[in-house]
Amino acid sequence: MLTSILTRITGNGLIVGTMLAVWWLLSAAVSPEYFAVADAVATSWFGDLVFTLSAWALWYHYLAGIRHLIYDAGRGLDIPTAEKLGWACIIGSVVLTVLTIVIV
């Protein structure tokens, strides 16, 4: 249940991150002053939070997609295995997000 809810929440969260990135890119085409405003937001604590959560959401969706491919193959459908795969998605997405932040 938790992984299903997280999939929906992270999907909507990715929209916010995408909108911020598109706004930042489009503002560069409008004017230097407008870009300065968008850049200030994108590089502020709020922008850092949005982009960090977007990275986590992206990794979570990736791992959840792999989990669903496993389900589509007819494997992991028993409750104990499904719970382990759900936790693997959650923990794996956090680990991969931290690695992304450290590497990038």
Rounded to whole angstroms, the Cα distance separating 23 from 30 reads: 10
The residue-averaged pLDDT of 14-19 equals 94
**Burial level of 56, CB count in 10 A (0-12/13-18/19+)?**
buried
What is the gyration radius of the CA atoms in the chain, in angstroms?
17
For the chain, what is the domain count?
A: 1
Rounded to whole angstroms, the Cα distance separating 18 from 69 reads: 26
What is the span of the domain harbouring residue 32? 2-103
Output the pLDDT for position 2.
82
Rounded to whole angstroms, the Cα distance separating 102 from 88 reads: 21
CATH number of the domain where residue 19 is located: 1.20.1300.10
* Percentage of the residues of the chain whose pLDDT score is greater than 90: 87
pLDDT tens, residue by residue, 22-69: 999 999 999 999 999 999 999 999 999 999 999 999 999 999 999 999
With beta carbons less than 8 A apart as the criterion, state whether 38 and 24 touch: yes
Output the pLDDT for position 3.
85
Rounded to whole angstroms, the Cα distance separating 6 from 27 reads: 31
Q: Which residues contact 20 (CB under 8 A, 6 or more apart)?
A: 41, 42, 47, 50, 51
